[in-house]
Amino acid sequence: MDGPSKSLDGRRLILGVTGGIAAYKSAELVRLFKKAGVDVRVLLTADASRFVTPLTLGTLSQHPVLSEIFPEDEEGTWTKHIELGLWADLCLIAPATAQTISKLANGQCDSMVTAVALAARCPILVCPAMDHDMYLHPATQSNLDRLRAFGYEILPPEHGELASGLVGWGRLPDLDTIVARSSEIMSVRPISDQSLSGKRVLVTAGPTREAIDPVRFISNGSTGSMGFALAQAAAGRGADVTLIAGPSSLPTPAGVKRIDVVSATEMARAVSDNAQADVVIMAAAVADFRPATASHSKIKKKDAVMSLSLEPTTDILKSLGASKREGQVLIGFAMETDDAEANARAKLEAKNLDWIVVNNLREKGAGFGTSTNKVTLLGADGRKEDFPVLDKRVLASRLLDAILG
């Protein structure tokens, strides 16, 4: 294992090590990251120190290893978990035991590892490692799903021989895999970048719901994850960010003002109220049509075929383009299934946009409900940039680089 192929000089990594047998591999992880130029700070749970010593990891990382939130006989350490959470470009928890995963999923912070994770503004990458049945237990799977909903990334364990002697799922992912994924995340512009300081950024995200009756509606499969990632990326660069979100269970990114809406009409009103932003990113999947008449009572099922009359919703993006002020940057999104680039280019021109981000629902790794996306960025000046399949948080930062850099 030679580590990542490109230098990560200056990147800052928190490595949280928890109490499983795979903790012994953390020493090699530290070595690989240090070789690539990463500044590594190691955190240990109490049980992790049974498998690997603080002296070993401290020597390799060249920093003291922290375990307790309030270590004895050390002044000025009670805010250390906050400082580390703001300092890092990535918080990597490897191995992550079932116990620590449960604590993270429920907001418990009885160790430096869990306290820093709760305070961190950077991406968090969790690498589960445990026995097969523990990993597949519904409680563990539910906790992992909850972490994903928080925005954590889970690097699934591998299948193979386990410490118990069983063969199954639960092995810590290969160290090269962990280092490669960590490197991709840390290659994004560091959290210390404040290039948008003093700028107002408006982001829309998620679907809208257009009522048929009090219990039924027209909508789509958008979760809002791309827009939330863009809001998080902009806030991380110092922007004053307002996020207008359709129905979404995603947590509000740190430092972001959130306005929740339901319908396209509500979103149009909220956008109009906040349209004086320096940068407007319209990532929401706004419904194009709504029922012409919504019933005030639940429509009862009948044997006869029901007919639904639809009317167009307000074209929010077109309205923004028509009233765009000098110096304002307006970015639209387009999801297509056929002739994606041609349709997006026509939308770019018709709605007076500066940029449009287009993806194709038919392409693997793109679309609704995925942690990744694959897009093409088109500019009003004729520029074009194709992006590979990327984690949405990584893609968000690279889009900002291309659009604003």
Q: Is 106 a catalytic residue?
A: no
Gap between the Cα atoms of 348 and 354, Å rounded: 7
393 vs 188: CA distance, rounded Å: 9
Question: Across the strands, what pairs with 260?
Answer: 245
Burial class (CB in 10 A: 0-12, 13-18, 19+), 306: exposed
**One-character DSSP codes across 322-384:** HTPPTT-EEEEEEEESSSHHHHHHHHHHHTT-SEEEEEETTSTT-STT-SEE--EEEETTS-E
8 Å CB contact between 14 and 116: yes
Q: Which two tokens stand for residue 241?
A: 């960010």
> Are 121 and 85 contacting, i.e. CB atoms less than 8 angstroms apart?
yes
> Which H or E run contains 201?
strand 200-205
Q: Catalytic residue, from 220, 274, 343, 352: name it.
A: 220
Those residues with Cβ within 8 angstroms of residue 314's Cβ, 6 or more apart along the chain or in another chain: 264, 265, 268
Residue type present at position 72: E
| Alpha-helix residue ranges (DSSP H) falling in 201-289 | 225-236, 264-273
H or E element in which residue 95 lies: strand 90-96
Q: Which of 306, 312, 302, 295 lies closest to 217, judged by CA?
A: 295
The DSSP letter of residue 280 is E
The answer to whether the bond into 95 is cis (omega within 30° of 0) is: yes
Confirm if 271 and 205 have CB atoms less than 8 A apart.
no
C-alpha closest to that of 33 among 53, 13, 52, 49: 13
Give me the active site residues, please.
220
